[in-house]
Homo-oligomer: A and B are copies of this chain.
Amino acid sequence: MRDFAQDHRWLSINTATVRKQHGVEQSLPDILEACAQRGIRAVSPWRDQVAAAGLDNISRLVKTHGLELSGYCRGGMFPAVDAAGVRAAADDNRRAVDEACALNAACLVLVVGGLPGALTGKALHKDIARSRSQVHDGIAALLEYAKANHMPLAIEPLHPMYAADRACINTLEHALDVCDALDPASTGALGVAVDVYHVWWDPKLQAQIARAGKERLLAFHVCDWLTPTTDLLNDRGMMGDGVIDIPKIRDWVEAQGFAGYSEVEIFSTSNWWQRGSGEVLDTCIARHKTVV
């Protein structure tokens, strides 16, 4: 396993981590500058942040600061109740691939979607198998476009508590089943994003990481699981403040040959979003060296 204690050259910041300080939306250019000032070499921005600042502008700033993108957040949200909805998702996902290419991202992360309408509290049906089938078909179609544009797709299995509203792929095993079906040769065009928050509990995690292998391990995300967790979405912990044995999982991932960034992604309404960006980033650097 790589030694992270000496420096933070393998730290990436998912820009959601410092996007809402004191409840105020932070601009992506400011976030990029704050990262670059601290010698952080990689980020993973969100599409809405990029759109707000302008794709060309962000593309230029990324180059100016010498930043890499460990991933681009995010494509997915495939399920819909009718053909028009499926088409709209497909179109939007191709645009996400285009943006990821413009930003030279390492991969496009896919949060695949759950039951249509559930995210706004009005699920339009309860057939999760139907959603899973649509996700399979949606990734299959997008994969052709992504391959042609040389943009790897990383399926991110989300914690089962998001099965209804955000993603109906909830285990690494399920994500890899989809990879096996759509990219049996393990070409590197389709893989997974392993976020410890979503998968730490899984008794099959080590075995499935081994199954994934280097070709399918496209991204590695870290934060921590707090006890108690007071909000299903926005109470993620800083690495070291929770119960996840992060070094053990990183060891499993690196044993397969993964040598990319360790991306910090923390949504934290009541704690980390209530502090200044500088303090949060400095803490990420310190924790990256000591507990990741």
Contact = CB atoms under 8 A, between A and B. Distances in A.
Given A174-B203, A201-B160, A201-B170, A165 B227 contact: yes
Contacts of A141: none
A65 to B, nearest CB: 35
Interface stretch (A12-20, A40-48, A123-131): A123-131
Interface string A212-236: 0000000000000101111010000
Nearest to A129: B203
A164 interface: yes
A225 B118 CA distance: 11
Q: For the side of the interface on A, what is the size category?
A: 20 to 34
A7 to B, nearest CB: 25
B203 A170 contact: yes
Contacts of A115: 227, 243
Interface in A144-170: 159-161, 163-165, 168, 170
Nearest to A246: B126
Contacts of A118: 227, 243
B127 A245 contact: yes
Interface string A193-206: 00000001111000
A121 B203 contact: no
Nearest to A118: B227
A132 interface: yes
A136 to B, nearest CB: 11
B126 A244 contact: yes
A161 B229 contact: yes
A277 interface: no
Interface string A175-210: 000000000000000000000000011110000000
B243 A123 contact: yes
Given A171-B203, A174-B203, A203-B171, A126 B243 contact: yes
Contacts of A165: 227-228
Given A118-B243, A127-B245, A201-B170, A225 B164 contact: yes
A88 interface: no
A119 interface: yes
14 contacts: A115-B243, A118-B227, A119-B227, A126-B245, A159-B160, A159-B161, A160-B160, A160-B201, A163-B201, A164-B225, A164-B242, A170-B201, A170-B203, A232-B232
Given A118-B243, A160-B202, A163-B201, 15 more contacts: A115-B243, A121-B227, A123-B227, A123-B243, A126-B243, A126-B245, A128-B200, A160-B161, A161-B232, A164-B242, A165-B227, A170-B201, A170-B203, A228-B232, A229-B232
Interface of A: 115, 118-119, 121, 123, 126-128, 132, 159-161, 163-165, 168, 170-171, 174, 200-203, 225, 227-230, 232, 242-245
